[in-house]
Amino acid sequence: MESISQLTDLIARGETSARATVEAALDRAETLNESLNAFLAIDREGAVKRAEEIDAGQSAGETSLHGVPIAIKDNICVRGMQTSCGSRILGPYQPPYNATAIDRLLQAGAIVIGKTNCDEFAMGSSNENSAFGPVRNPWDTSRVPGGSSGGSAAAVAAGIVPVALGSDTGGSVRQPASLCGVIGLKPTYGRVSRYGLVAFGSSLDQIGVFARNATDAALVLQTIAGRDPHDATTADVPVPNYADALKSDINGMRIGVSRALLGEGLDAEVRAAIEKAIDAYKDLGAEIVDVDLPHAKYAIAVYYIIATAEASSNLARYDGVRYGFRAEEAPALRDMYRKTRDEGFGPEVKRRIMLGTYVLSAGYYDAYYLKAQKVRMLLRQDFANAFARCDAVVTPTSPTPAFKFGEKVDDPLAMYLNDVYTVTANLAGVPGISVPCGLSSEGLPIGMQLLGPYWSEANLLRLTHAYQTAHPFEGTPKIHA
């Protein structure tokens, strides 16, 4: 699969067309979806029409992504296309507007080919919670792709599209990127507009990017980043040229390592791969420094209080009245509410709504939610202290490679612990990126995570590019275009 620059160059030279490029991507999506279940909707008619407009020169605006096919997680609004959030309660709902990130991609010449499968309302670490069946990992279809953005990760890993969008509330871009052997970037909270992203945890959610190389990730982030008047949480911070930042070497950059995070609960092969990557950075001229994140051990508990509380509030709007699924044969309004939510939501979403309602309830708010917010501030301070000593912190992305379907589905705590390395970035609001750094003895991808200070995506991409240039990721998924 060509990179963005290769595709746009081929189209610009007339060696191919936007239509031919997008039709090839659509063919791959339709063929491989039987094996992967990565897409919930494929828009052949709309994508081909847009490609023809681009070829005819009718597409206005910048064209840095001219004719590039892209896949979008099904909790990001695309006008006239299904936005189900992987849930029966929304089902075939079609929003009447685009998310800001989508408008910016379209203005840059990108072509949306379809909506990708995900855990219901982005709640999950394995993509087993989708109402429309799980996504299967292209490296081994008996294993999960990670979640919640598993469809987008699988679509990029399998070579269907060069890039895709996902959302990251506690690791939902980085963790599936790790398990599928691609790059997954979560920007700083407020770097990319959340307008048109269906809310899960409003203080945690951020749209992120999947790609196979740092240059493609940089080009997409460049396109979607920046202040948006539709989203008051976006920051009025200048957007640098991320692609230009890749040209600098990393000699003298300081990378922090918290040895406590490389201990108990970490798969031995993952630990070995991370330690090898740390040595690789040392060889590239980076300085390795020890840092301490003393409150990281509380991150999972804090996250699953704050995230569920916000989910309980955000999902209260799905009541069967205004849009989406409505239960039948409900004699009274209260019965309709109850029945709609009982039939429309899956078990994991119900679990999180109940947890969130509990921690917000009278008598428990101070003991759980308020205390969690206080510890969240301590986590932010931990990162501030660490970044005073280094430019980025390296950790594993996931404690294990991809696990088998059903292996953890009946043990919520074991499932939640898959996010132990990723939730800290969302709680603190800092950017993070997962980079493939090896294969397990079973041939499964292993990812390393780089975390940086606020607005330091350029440095994270620079570190990623340097590592990938010196150590190209080897191996090809079993299912690949």
Residues with a known catalytic role:
73, 148, 172
Q: How far is CA 451 from CA 50, 164, 255, 261, 302, in A?
A: 37, 21, 10, 13, 19
Instruction: Please state, as a whole number, how many other Cβ atoms lie within 10 Å of the Cβ of residue 262.
Output: 16
The length of the chain, given as a count of residues: 481
Give me the DSSP letters along 40-90.
Answer: EEE-HHHHHHHHHHHHTT---S--TTTT-EEEEETTB--TTS---TT-TTT
Beta carbons within 8 Å of 330's beta carbon, 6+ residues apart: 336, 338, 339, 340
Number of Cβ atoms within 10 Å of the Cβ of 417: 16
Rg (CA), the chain: 21
Residues β-bridged to residue 163: 70, 211
CA distance 149 to 172: 6
Count CB neighbours of 461 within 10 A: 25
Alpha-carbon distance 224 to 234, whole Å? 12
Tokens of 394: 């390296």
Per-residue CA distances from 7 to 59, 161, 163, 183 (Å): 17, 11, 12, 19
